């Protein structure tokens, strides 16, 4: 999900609510993603699943969980938050044993140290300016460590840009997006361990 402030703008809310029914297409290579050449994509998605399943933790909070596509592979006691009602509707059906709530990533409704780990997939790369520091500070408050999964930088993409996203219904939406090298993401998180570095994804545990 993308935040320009603490809460979604109306444009962002519209984008994520409209995208919810087709969000998994991104990972599955279906819908509008079916014709995109993404060599090795499914192998990398499976690698992410394996990393999540093997995390040595007993409790995890997944921030900006979307439909729960990655969340479902987290071990132990799982809580998941998002701001999109449409995304959460899908996530609740997929995660019957997890606590799934609508909440603000910058004001988490959990006590300090409530979880072993915070995870977040494809959220950090949508944050601008001071929102990054505020998100990381809140993640550190509720957990000892955090796992960030995001898009890997490739030569054919700009490291940072406003992108136009077209959905299956033909609607167009502007989305801020960043791509990361493993070293860059690790540095921004204040250090950590690179758990995955591929053509499409990067994952750092800090």
pTM for the model stands at 0.94
Give per-residue pLDDT as tens, 56-103.
Answer: 999 999 999 999 999 999 999 999 999 999 999 999 999 999 999 999
Q: Counting Cβ atoms within 10 Å, is residue 133 exposed (0-12), middle (13-18) or buried (19+)? A: exposed
Residue 185, by phi and psi: left (phi above 0), alpha (psi -120 to 50) or beta?
alpha
Angle 180-122-87 from CA coordinates, rounded to 5°: 170
Which string of DSSP letters, residue by residue, matches 46-58? Answer: HHHHHHHHT---S
Alpha carbon dihedral 183, 189, 195, 201, in 10-degree steps, equals -70
Q: Reduced to 3 states, what is the DSSP secondary structure of residue 121?
A: strand
Give per-residue pLDDT as tens, 28-65.
Answer: 999 999 999 999 999 999 999 999 999 999 999 999 99
Q: Which domains does the chain have, with CATH numbers?
A: 10-205 (3.40.50.150)
Q: Is the pLDDT of residue 112 over 80?
A: yes
Length of the chain: 206
Q: Using CA atoms, how far apart are residues 113 and 177, in angstroms rounded to an integer? A: 30
- Report DSSP state, residue 84: -
Alpha carbon dihedral 125, 129, 135, 138, in 10-degree steps, equals 160
The pLDDT of residue 14 is: 83
Give per-residue pLDDT as tens, 3-12.
Answer: 434 456 777 7
Give per-residue pLDDT as tens, 159-196.
Answer: 999 999 999 999 999 999 999 999 999 999 999 999 99
Element (H, E) at 70: none
Beta bridge partners of 201: 151
Element (H, E) at 91: helix 85-94
């Amino acid at each position: 999900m993308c935040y320009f402030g603490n809460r979604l703008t109306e444009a962002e809310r519209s984008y994520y609510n409209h995208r919810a029914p087709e969000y998994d297409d991104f990972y599955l290579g279906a819908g509008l993603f079916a014709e995109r050449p993404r060599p090795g994509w499914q192998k990398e998605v499976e690698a992410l699943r394996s990393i999540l399943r093997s995390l040595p933790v007993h409790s995890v909070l997944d921030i900006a969980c979307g439909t729960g596509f990655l969340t479902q592979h987290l071990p132990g006691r799982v809580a998941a938050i998002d701001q999109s009602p449409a995304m959460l509707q899908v996530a609740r059906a997929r995660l019957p044993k997890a606590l799934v709530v609508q909440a603000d990533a910058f004001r988490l409704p959990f006590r300090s140290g409530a979880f072993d780990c915070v995870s977040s997939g494809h959220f950090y790369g949508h944050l601008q300016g001071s929102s990054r520091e505020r998100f990381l500070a809140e993640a550190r408050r509720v957990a000892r460590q955090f796992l960030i999964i995001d898009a890997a930088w490739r030569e054919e993409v700009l490291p940072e840009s406003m992108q136009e996203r077209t959905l299956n219904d033909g609607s167009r939406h502007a989305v801020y997006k960043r791509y990361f090298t493993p070293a860059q993401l690790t540095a921004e998180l204040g250090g950590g361990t690179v758990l995955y570095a591929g053509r499409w994804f990067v994952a750092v545990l800090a």
